[in-house]
Structure formats: C-alpha cells, structure tokens
Amino acid sequence: MSNKWDDDEVLERFREYLRIPSVHPDIDYGDCVKFLKKQAEQLDLPVAVYELVPGKPVVVITWKGLEPDQPAILLNSHMDVVPVYEEHWTHPPFAAHVSEDGFIYARGTQDMKGIGMMNLEAVRNLKNAGVRLKRTVHISFVPDEEIGGQEGMRVFSESEEFKKLNIGFGTDESIPNPGPNVLITFHGERTSRQIKITARSNPGHGALLGEDTAGEKLYYIIDKFMKLRAEEKRKLDERNLWFGDVTTINLTQLEGGVQVNVLPESLSASFDIRIATDVDHDEFEEMILRWCKEAGQDVILEYLVKNPQVNNTKIDDSNLFWVAIKKAANEMGLTLNPVICPGATDARYVRQQGIPSINMSPIMNTPVLLHSHDERIHVDEFKAGIKRTEKFLEAIANV
C-alpha cells in the first residue's frame, strides 16, 4: 500500500539501499556495489571498486577538491548488517516500510546504511548547490565491519590503494542520541582481547580429593578475573563513568571434562576483554601471566584475538579537524559529547595508520536500536541528519 512518502526521491534512494539484504552470514555484496555505482553515476563522480579479498568489495566514490594535493577527507560506512529475528519485527526488516507516523523500519537504518546515505546525500546537496570544497572527499563503503572488518577495512587500510587516497582525516559511525542537541562522538576505542586459559592436570576419580586439579587451578584464574571485573564495575557505578572509560571482562565460555565422576585432564575458560585506553597493555598481559603462574603448573594463556593498542585521536586545539567540528556544531546549536567507544568500529584501522578519525552520528531524538528488533529512524531525523552532515563536511573539508 502506498503512502505519502513514496514520491520522495531522497527517501526512495535510502529505502532502495535498505532493501538490499546485505545480512550476515554469507553476504553477496553485488547488489550494494550496483546500487552505489548508480549513485556515483547520478552524482557524476568517479567510483572505484577494490576487491582485495575475493567477494569483499570496497566501494569509494570521490569528489575532487579545489586543492587535491591537500590530504583528503574519508567518510566511511559499512555495507553489511547483522542478522534479524523477523518474527519480532513490526514490519519486515528488509522492506524499508515507512509507517504512517513517519518511521522507516529496516535493518541498517541506524547501523549504518543511514549514515552512509547521509554522507552521499550531503555531497549531492553541496554539489548541486555549486559548492566546491578545498579538500578531496572520498566516500567509502566497506564490507564485513559487523564481523570484525578483518577482510574489509583492515585489509583496505593497509593497502597501497588506500595510501594513494592520501587520507588526512576520517569519520565513521557513532550512536544516535535519544535526546536533542547533543551529538555523541568517539575519538578512540578500547582494545579488544579475547583469551582462553587452559588448566591441565592428571585425571583421576571424582570421589578423591586430588592435589592441583584442573578445577582448582581454573577456579583461581576465574576468581582473579571476577574480582577485577567487580572493581571495574564499582568504578563505573561510583564515578558515573561511560563504559568506554573502564576495562570490561566477561567470562563467555567454559570447556572440558569427559564425565561427571572423572577429574578432567583439562578445563578451559574463555574471556572477552576490552582494555581501557589509559591502561598499560603490557602490564595487563604480565598480570594475567602472573595469575597463570600462581594458579599452578600447566596453566596456559592463549590469545584468540589480540588487537594492538591504537592511539586515540586528539580532541584539543592541536587537531584542526576537531576544532572545525566543534565550530560547526556550535553554529548549529549542538553540543558534542566526546567519549571512548565501548565497542569496536572500522575507525580503529584508520587510526592505526596514523590518521586521525572521529566517529560521529548526526542522528538525534532517536532511540538507540543498533542490532535490535524494529531498528528504525524517523523521516524528519534522517533529513535533519543530512543537513548536519553537510555542515560538518564543509567544515572539515575546508580546514
């Protein structure tokens, strides 16, 4: 059934993108690439598709600046979205249905096809208005962010193709603000480490009280981590901190044993750890190794994921791009709330190349529904986000 929104060209482009089910697992990005090539053609802008990993294309649309030798601006977004539980959605998650009260329901409206389209529409509006920016702007669309970006932005950011883009500053995703007039920005990320600790011992009968059992050793390790977790939670609660300000530790898997009445030869515990940016990462690792030694013989630390520590982007007057963002926000009557990202985004790979990057979502007055049922954005807020993106883009591309 048609409604009053169906003849809106801006919304129709957005809804066309949302209807592409680029959902994990086993994504075929072909339709996304076709859609973005069509947008580039409509904008009369060159587009490049880099397939550094088979089946994992990176699409870059380029708007050349008046001073193309200046380091360029990167507006990044990802094409992939997380799976859905369709039975819990009010409207089909890939229909891009617009309700009578103006909400667009679809997976990706917030995370993060919405921001990708705001970037494109902002460039479209500025270009159609005859605006020329000092710096070249590259609008990138990458794969696989939702599964870690290893074959997406990580590979791309380390490539010669990326280096040739001459990026001087980048933007990426943040989260919507449920209220008005405040934009939540990320200038850094905690370091994700996933570890597995295995305790070994001689097997025996479950009726005995053996010495140095695998269970005793693993209990010692778990107890140490849980006490550290409790301390970090106490800091979070008592100091009114943001999740990104503390180290989070979660026991996520337990493995081992063959039978209830047999003392196991080995038991393992896996932890998801996000190390705060102000923690010495080498000392943190030494602490875990010390716990393993204290627990007894044959207690082994294994890294499942060991991301490197990446420096935060500076948010002081030494970063002229941040100064420009603050000035533009002030002119729009907006306040910036800069925090450390509690999760992980593709911006970490850009920062790892020594390029400052700020994660910012121009979405306000919107419930945070990333990865949730009924992910949605209001038509008015989507269009307001385009206008905000225009202002921010003009500011940073003219630094």
Give me the active site residues, please: 80, 145
Q: What tokens appear for 58 in the block?
A: 């990176």
Paired tokens of 173: 């995703």
Smallest CA-to-CA distance from 244 within 199, 266, 206, 274 is with 274
Q: Structure tokens of 314?
A: 């500076």
Q: How far is CA 363 from CA 63, 296, 327, in A?
A: 24, 52, 18
CA distances from 187 to 190, 250, 388 (A): 11, 24, 19
Q: Quick one: tokens of 60? A: 């870059």
Beta-bridge partners for 275: 191
Alpha helix locations (H) across the chain? 9-18, 30-43, 113-128, 155-157, 160-164, 214-238, 281-295, 320-331, 347-352, 379-397
d(CA 231, CA 385): 39
- Rounded to whole angstroms, the Cα distance separating 170 from 185 reads 13
CA distances from 131 to 10, 231, 320, 364 (A): 19, 53, 21, 26
Residues in Cβ contact with 160 at an 8 Å cutoff, skipping those fewer than 6 apart = none
Cβ atoms of 260 and 206 within 8 Å: the answer is: yes
Two tokens, residue 158: 């380390």
Tokens of 116: 């990708």
Burial of residue 54 (CB within 10 Å: 0-12, 13-18, 19+) is exposed
